[in-house]
Amino acid sequence: MRHLTSIRELTRESAIALLDNAQELAQVGDREVKKLPALRGKTVVNLFFENSTRTRISFEIAAKRLSADVINVSAESSSVSKGESLKDTAQTLEALGADAIVLRHPMSGAPKILAAQGWTKASIVNAGDGSHEHPTQALLDALTLRQVAASSTDLAGLRVLIVGDILHSRVARSNILLLNLLGANVEICGPEALVPSGIEELGASISHSFDQALERNPDAVMMLRIQKERMDGSYFESPAAYGRDWSLNSERLSKLRLNTKILHPGPMNRGLEISAEAADDSRSLVLRQVANGVAVRMAVLHNCLSSGGES
């Protein structure tokens, strides 16, 4: 593949191939010299129009472990702040030698537009666009689940419950698409104001009671961050009321089976959507998700930039 802007661009086979590659590349992180020469001579630009810590650093480490040169550009420090268009920015970066542009943008569809318009020959990787998609987050979540699931290939039959602010979550959308592609059963659960109409068409069942959803004994519970920065109104009564109905608190934690896994894409609002006890529980895979993010992004960058873009 040349670009990755959406999970929809993957087939089941190509997704599994990426996960297999990421699993192999994860071993690089355990070596004394954490570096491969695979992308030596290539330049990766992290172009972030939204603040990010873990995703940008994860892509930076991934590119450096493959020996690529890395440039980080934020909107505040670039000519974008002076009114430059996305097209002009991309073409400037290409003229400076960018082989891949990792783009985070507040507008849904921006990476797709950049990849499709022919404004640049660079590979485009979506690092999160609006409330649309975050494909590498979904891939790292799938890799994390696959490492603890019975199957080492796909996630067939796995029951995953995604809880919280579905409306603003690009993570939820990419995960629904990918988990379905890999054979998992997905249920989304949240207050009615934070579950968009029509999202079941992506391949998930919907419920509005966290406690009832837990009674169905999911294999994994994925908690979502409340995205206050994207909220233009009141979506719940109060933080206390949200925590009462939707937090993975101590009481709900005690109802999980011993082998039920807990995921969160981060950053976590401890005490709001997840308690500190749940975040630090032995069933929590949060830190494994972070570590797997580097391996998945290595696999994606390598796939996009090697062999002329062929898988």
User: Which amino acids are annotated as binding site, given as ranges?
Assistant: 54-55, 82, 104, 134, 137, 170, 225, 266-267
Distance CA 75, CA 71 (A): 13
Q: Which of 206, 144, 141, 149 is nearest to 171 (CA)?
A: 141
Residue ranges of the annotated binding site for carbamoyl phosphate are 54-55, 104, 134, 137, 266-267
Identify each DSSP E strand in 75-155 by its residue range.
Answer: 100-105, 123-129
Neighbours of 27 (CB within 10 A): 9
Confirm if 215 and 233 have CB atoms less than 8 A apart. Answer: no
Helix H or strand E segment including 172: helix 170-181
Q: Shortest CA distance to 168 belongs to which of 145, 142, 191?
A: 191
Report which secondary-structure segment, H or E, holds 261.
strand 261-263
Do residues 21 and 10 make contact, with C-beta atoms less than 8 angstroms apart?
Answer: no
Residue ranges of the binding site for L-aspartate: 82, 170, 225
31-66 in b/e form (b: 16+ CB < 10 A) is eeeeeeebbeebbbbbbbbbebeebbebbbbbbbbb
